[in-house]
Structure 1
Amino acid sequence: MHAIGHYIQNINPKSKVVYVSSEKFTNELINSIKDDKNEEFRSKYRNVDVLLIDDVQFIAGKERTQEEFFHTFNTLHEASKQIILSSDRPPKEIHTLEDRLRSRFEWGLIADIQAPDFETRIAILKKKADVENLNVPNEVMVYIATHIKSNIRELEGALIRIVAYSSLTNKEISVELASEALKDIISNKNAKQITIELIQDIVSSYYGLKIDDFKSSRRTRNVAFPRQIAMYLSRKLTDTSLPKIGEEFGGRDHTTVIHAYEKISQSLKKDDSLQATVAELTKKISQK
């Protein structure tokens, strides 16, 4: 909502834009009644070019607030002004909202704003890195996009945090450093959702193999290389120890896991096709 307000003022600096949460609108109304300043309150919200109200669902059930907003809405609409509302549900699902307000809310465009998908999150991070002139490996952006899914602000904040942490510790930016820098903001929920079994299932299906192939002693390239990718992703996307990862891949030694991780990490730095493959696999895993 703030971004919308800033955008409007950038393209039309003379426009009068007012942003308010529904809670603040209600509190200001209560104070205006208490202090006998009703006209001052009405003037503030009815003499604007654009009114943005956040979380409008919270006025439901508040009779006086709904009454006041009904007249504010009508005044602005009749003057051909813009009204932008946000809610956590569509008007028809705000059950204690007055019908006359519900019908007005449905007059305009209703847009369902979802969290950005994986590709969009990657694009946002790349654009931010370009704007800020940051040199961040693609695999780190994939890591961020896999774990931070909520909004643009958190995505960009995670990127800046990793760069700052790299500078502070004088360490090269890598997935390991990103994991360390973001460990207190990446939810345990996401970590628990991603298991080695899930990774094995996704990677084996992608390459037309069976999970048992990863646990077998077969060392032909058509099995060994996908197995290394699965090991790489198991280390990158889970908190599982190296010995445990090796155990899940047919009882292999932890040094085999380290070798697989390092080999794929090095290949990712110079192989664009592999980068795309790992990004696609990470997306599939994160969406499960």
Structure 2
Amino acid sequence: MSRDQVDAALERAFSSEELGRWRSSLGMSVEDGVLTVRFPHMYFADWFASHARERFEAALKGTGLALAYECRDGSRSRIVREARPASDELPFGSEFIFDNFLVNTKNYFPLASAQEVAQSSHAPYNPFVLCGESGSGKSFLLRAIANVKSENGRDGIHVAGVNDLHELFSSRPDARKYLMSMNFLAVDDLQEIERYPYLQGELLALFDHFHLHRKQMVFACSGKVAGLSFLTTKLKSRLEWGLTVTLKIPDLDIRTQYVQSRCRERRLDLPKDRILLLAQRFPDLRNLEGCLLKLWAYRELVHDHISDEEFDNILNYLDDRSVTSLSVDQIIDAVCAQFDLSPGEILSAGRRHELVFARQVAMFLCRKHLGLSFPELGRAFGGRDHSTALYSCRKIQQLQRDDKSIKSMLQAMTEKCLAMNEKSPV
């Protein structure tokens, strides 16, 4: 197969806009039945693995080519993945297997139910509906079920988001007949059907067919089905025919397991205190994954060892949505509890040494976790000048570098603030 034929296969699978975003960054060559894909750096390789590789490999199935991935960083060249036929990969993402799903008592029932659906040949729970907030693992379990179902081949299995269904019905007059020929249908992001009202009628027809022939249907939905007011009564009642499970947002235990697991996979050596800080700071696994990816890329591309200052800088530049519900008052309350002071004393003009130090700590934490400017900090702390806030933050930054006990105290204060944030309604 020639390069031109590879490009043609990719153009059938991706839009020109999608290809325009990353195609020019890939180096590709075909030799002895192996298509070698070369990435400019590991950061891009990891992005590609998460966002494009599955469809890339699906587009090249049946070509007879094995795929190899390489990355070149400066003068170094390394194998990202050994050459293997694309058909050896799990069709719906190799990472989506039940063994990789982090479980504790809070999400054991959804996992056990998903495994039962995956392993059963007679559709005991039909439809099977996975509900939960964004980042709770719905899409993971949906794809893990599909991967188990595909063990005897991908034929007869269709996995799609609602937007994909819309594209299918827009491009194929026989879309309904095609989907009815499937033995397993999984639809992700069901809440998006509000954008395509006509799909509700199509799903009703599919429901009746799949239910009558005892063929499994799986749906994933953000929030709860009962809360989707735009669903027709008929469609909502059919969704309630089967089993609905609700996944909880990953708690601190799950997030800690996740960080440890990803660090092992990427050979990223993080001490326990950093692992705990990351798990506390990022309640959303997607944000947590983005942070880990940035740390890993920094180690690969810049420096093998990430110092404390570099670690803090990387975290501070991230879009940290997990702390948006924190307030200045909450941080001041936490500092007051630590130093046995009152908020009035912190905000007063008092100049006692312990009072000044506590005030500087509070300013530093507000700057770190709320991203306040120095003028904003000054106003929040009794109308002080911005230069006072600047001096306070620099003073505490320097002290934590020089004194391990102060660094430990600031770490404990950070954990208290993040714990308060987790309990606060967003």
Q: What is the TM-score when the length of structure 1 is the normalising length?
A: 0.70
Retained in 2: the 8 A contact 1:18–1:52?
Answer: yes
Instruction: From 164, 169, 178, give the equivalent of 1:29.
Output: 169
Rounded to whole Å, the distance in 2 between the matches of 1:276 and 1:126 is 21
Instruction: From 7, 14, 18, give the equivalent of 2:152.
Output: 14
Q: 1:181 to 1:270 in 2, by over 3 A?
A: closer
- Output the amino acid matched with 2:235: L
1:201 aligns with 333
1:39 aligns with 177
Deviation at 1:100, TM superposition (A): 2.0
Unaligned runs of 5+ in 1: none
- Output the amino acid matched with 1:281: C
Question: What is the total number of aligned residue pairs between the two structures?
Answer: 277
For residue 171 of structure 2, give the secondary structure of its aligned residue in structure 1: helix
- Output the amino acid matched with 2:141: I
1:110 aligns with 244
1:279 aligns with 415
Retained in 2: the 8 A contact 1:19–1:52?
Answer: yes
Retained in 1: the 8 A contact 2:162–2:190?
Answer: yes
Rounded to whole Å, the distance in 1 between the matches of 2:282 and 2:257 is 14
Q: 1:237 to 1:268 in 2, by over 3 A?
A: farther
Q: 1:234 to 1:3 in 2, by over 3 A?
A: same
Retained in 1: the 8 A contact 2:193–2:199?
Answer: yes
Q: Which has the higher strand share?
A: 2
For residue 241 of structure 2, give the secondary structure of its aligned residue in structure 1: coil
User: Which residues in structure 2 correspond to 1:70-81 (within 5 Å)?
Assistant: 70-81=204-215
User: Which residues in structure 2 correspond to 1:192-271 (within 5 Å)?
Assistant: 194=326, 196-205=328-337, 208-214=340-346, 216-219=350-353, 229-240=361-372, 248=381, 257-264=393-400, 266-267=403-404
Unaligned runs of 5+ in 2: 1-137
For residue 136 of structure 1, give the secondary structure of its aligned residue in structure 2: coil
Retained in 2: the 8 A contact 1:202–1:284?
Answer: no
Retained in 1: the 8 A contact 2:334–2:416?
Answer: no
For residue 351 of structure 2, give the secondary structure of its aligned residue in structure 1: coil
Q: 1:119 to 1:194 in 2, by over 3 A?
A: same
Retained in 2: the 8 A contact 1:21–1:56?
Answer: yes
Q: What is the TM-score when the length of structure 2 is the normalising length?
A: 0.51
Rounded to whole Å, the distance in 1 between the matches of 2:231 and 2:375 is 57
Q: 1:229 to 1:78 in 2, by over 3 A?
A: farther
Retained in 2: the 8 A contact 1:229–1:264?
Answer: no
Rounded to whole Å, the distance in 1 between the matches of 2:315 and 2:265 is 22
For residue 87 of structure 1, give the secondary structure of its aligned residue in structure 2: strand
Deviation at 1:105, TM superposition (A): 0.9
Percent identical residues: 22
